[in-house]
């Protein structure tokens, strides 16, 4: 199976304060409100222009800074389910897994695409095709993949507690 995605391309060391500003963290609650402020202080065009299925393609250390999960959920609620980066800040990487958003570590893709380009995910072959080039998607460790496969940490726990209640 392969899917096509439009790219939003950003640089190195993009921090969570510009992905989702701290001034909104305790006041905005609904997915629509949260999505409306995604990348507000970095790229005001993003929230207005993003469409479901779009992907982020970033440089090194995407999501450094605060542990705030809205820096992942704001993008997820805006319709982003895959983020490709040269590397991820560690809490951000965990937040992606736990929210069921696929974090793909692929350093060379950043220089191969520009905002608005369309890339192809070849899931079966585990690679991304961009501009005629193929980029491998690294495999995740099995325990981490299991969380993603469950749709995230909360769905995984829901299953566990439903099972416990039934048994």
Partner 1 sequence: MSGRTFAEKALARAAGKPDARAGDILDVRPDLVFSHDNSAAIRRIFEQTGAPRVVRPERVAITLDHAVPAPTRQHAQNHAEIREWVQAQQIGAFFEVGRGICHQVISEEALVLPGETILGADSHSTHFGWLGAFGAGIGRSEMAALWATGELWLRVPEAIRITLRGRLAPGVTSKDLSLCILGRLGADGGLYQSIEFAGETLAALSLDERAVIPNMMAEAGAKNAYLPPDGAVFDYLEARRTRDYTPLYPDPDAEYVAEHTLDVSALEPQIALPDRPDQVVPLSRVIGQPVQQAFLGTCTNGRLEDLQAAAEVLRGQRVRCRLIVIPASAAVMLAASRAGIIDVLLEAGAAIGTPGCGPCMGNHMGIPAPSEVTISSANRNYRGRMGTPDAPVYLASPYVVAASAVRGAISDPREFLT
Residues that bind partner 1 (CB under 8 A): 13, 15, 17-18, 21-23, 25-27, 41, 60-61, 64-69, 72, 87, 89-91, 94-95, 98-99, 141, 143-144, 152-154, 157-158, 160-162, 165
**CA dist 124 to 137, 139, 145, 148, Å?**
11, 12, 15, 16
Least distance to partner 1 from the beta carbon of 75, Å? Answer: 14
Those residues whose C-beta lies under 8 Å from the C-beta of residue 44, and which sit 6 or more positions away, are none
Nearer of residues 105 and 129 to partner 1, judged by Cβ? 105
Question: Residue 5's beta-bridge partner residues?
Answer: 119
Q: What's the closest the beta carbon of residue 151 comes to partner 1, in angstroms? A: 12
Q: Which is nearer to partner 1, 1 or 165 (CB)?
A: 165
CA–CA distances in Å: residue 68 to residues 51, 92, 94, 97? 23, 8, 11, 14
**Least Cβ distance, residue 90 to partner 1 (angstroms):** 5
- At closest approach, how far in Å is the CB of 140 from partner 1? 11
Query: Of 5 and 76, which has the nearer Cβ to partner 1?
Result: 76
Token code pair at residue 97:
């897994």
DSSP 79: T
């Amino acid at each position: 199976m392969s899917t096509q995605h439009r790219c939003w391309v950003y640089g190195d060391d993009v921090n969570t304060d510009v992905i989702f500003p701290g001034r909104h963290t305790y006041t905005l609650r609904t997915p629509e409100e949260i999505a409306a402020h995604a990348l507000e202080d970095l790229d005001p065009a993003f929230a207005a222009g993003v469409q479901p299925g779009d992907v982020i393609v970033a440089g090194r250390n995407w999501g450094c800074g605060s542990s705030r999960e809205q820096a992942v959920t704001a993008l997820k609620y805006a319709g982003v389910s895959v983020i490709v980066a040269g590397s991820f800040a560690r809490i951000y990487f965990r937040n992606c897994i736990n929210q069921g958003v696929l974090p793909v570590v692929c350093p060379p893709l950043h220089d191969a695409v520009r905002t608005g380009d369309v890339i192809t995910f070849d899931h079966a072959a585990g690679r991304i095709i961009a501009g005629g080039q193929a980029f491998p998607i690294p495999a995740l460790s099995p325990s981490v993949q299991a969380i993603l496969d469950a749709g995230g940490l909360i769905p995984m726990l829901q299953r566990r507690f439903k099972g416990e209640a039934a048994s």
